[in-house]
A and B are shown apart, each in its own frame.
Chain A
Amino acid sequence: QVQLVQSGSELKKPGASVKVSCNTSGYTFTNYAMNWVRQAPGQGLEWMGWIHTNTGNPSYAQGFTGRFVFSLDTSVSTAYLQISSLRAEDTAVYFCARTLSGSYDDAFEFWGQGTVVTVSS
């Protein structure tokens, strides 16, 4: 069965960096784009962008450029989200999500369990 398993919660100080992993199984990793979604405490869902798992080409939504980097390790079917220069407002749950079809712009059928990133001094 399809599984997306994310790395554990992180507590970071402002200015630090964090790297969240999304380890997948149960399907051909390179056949499906990987999306990233942020949910701040008590807030809604915010699409961060996606990465083409065949080419490694990332695409970032407005507001997620510069400090946010999507990457892959196709040898272990894993996607990564790295955030640098962390700020308090980056405190959120971060989800990876795979779509129904291979395209990024489709419904998100499978989700990772979420990674809580807390930024606090």
Chain B
Amino acid sequence: DIQMTQSPSSLSASVGDRVTITCRASQGISNYLAWYQQKPGKVPKLLIYTASTLQSGVPSRFSGSGSGTDFTLTISSLQPEDVATYFCQNCYTAPITFGQGTRLEI
């Protein structure tokens, strides 16, 4: 199975900060990676797919990059509504696996 490891596990930042979350795959997954945002008690929301494609309706302050084993999710200017847990997902091969999550606080 492909293991997905996110860092950090939690993060505190200020409004307006640039925030970066990383995700490392235990083996190469090309660009078959997605990022999700999950607010407390809510359904996960797709932010980014194929590593860098912004899902429709997602604010442009979110961006993704990477290929192979190393990926990043960047929020260019943190907003209060970005408080959430963020997950990466291996979409390369079964079993589909998720990172353990990064909790982002302000």
Residues of A within 8 A of B (CB): 35, 44-47, 59, 61-62, 95, 100, 104-109, 111-114
Give, as a whole number of angstroms, the nearest-CB distance from B9 to chain A.
11
Contacts of A113 in B (CB 8 A): 43
Contact with B96, one of A95, A105, A109, A111 (Cβ below 8 angstroms) = A105
Give, as a whole number of angstroms, the nearest-CB distance from B34 to chain A.
4
Question: How many residues on the B side are at the interface (Cβ–Cβ under 8 A)?
Answer: 23
A44-B100, A45-B98, A47-B97 known; A106 vs B91 contact (CB < 8 Å): yes
Assess whether B87 is in contact with A108, with CB atoms less than 8 Å apart.
no
Residues of B within 8 A of A (CB): 1, 32, 34, 36, 43-44, 46, 49-50, 55, 87, 89, 91-101
Contact with A44, one of B32, B91, B95, B98 (Cβ below 8 angstroms) = B98
